[in-house]
Structure 1
Amino acid sequence: MKFPSIFRTSKPMRFDIKPRYYDPVKEEIDQRTQKIKRELQADGALPMGDDNEDDILRDYGSSLRGAFTAGSQIKGRQSSPLTSAGLIRLVIFVVLIGALFGYVYYGPDAIYAMLYLMGGIALVVFFFRLRTNSKRK
């Protein structure tokens, strides 16, 4: 039972969410068509239109959108097979397995031999990188 009062008591706030419909495929198609339209206008194939700055800024908003779903690299980024993470992991794995089997069959001398071999290869690679950098300058 509630007693009459001249003061108003606060009621708990209710959670009210208004759902919005979002279609990522349609948005991506719209962005691509706008980008192609601007490129054609820049080349002179289409007459210049009434593009405002909001459309231009919205087009260059996120470079990652759709990059993972396409299954390819981000455009504009060059990668060589020598710097890819998969190849580096493979080389490390092969070296570790070789060191393990070398240690089992030949003892610690095999690990020392592998360390000297890897050090020599690292020095040769470092020498060639220095040589190519000095040619560029």
Structure 2
Amino acid sequence: MKLPSIFRTATPTRFDIKPRYYDKVKEDIDHRTANVKRELEAKGILHPDEYGNVNLGQRYGSSLRGAFSQGQIRQSSTGGFSSAGLVRLIIFVILILGTFGYIYYGNAALYLILYLAGGVALLVLFYRLKDRIKK
């Protein structure tokens, strides 16, 4: 049984292979169609605008455009803070305030923090239950 933790530990990545199927007939048909379209475009019979400005000759080439951007770490929409990071920050601030409050005011500061945390927990529980009742 895993104990709850503030920090995330790295989990091993799972091996996931996606099989690719090769259909020789379909590949041949696509290649011939691309050649015919290129020839018709070269003769001026067919315009590239009719088929969405797609150059089919480039489809088989190397596409490095955007290859490196797929592996970048995405920032969350909350300005770079993830929800776990925000929770850690709040816990850290509460611990620092509790320590300095205990040094200056004694046990009264710890009781105040305990009451505030209990009140916030009750408010969060109330709003979550309220949303479930509405559904």
Q: TM-score when scaled to structure 2?
A: 0.43
Q: TM-score when scaled to structure 1?
A: 0.42
Higher RCO (C-alpha 8 Å, min separation 6):
2
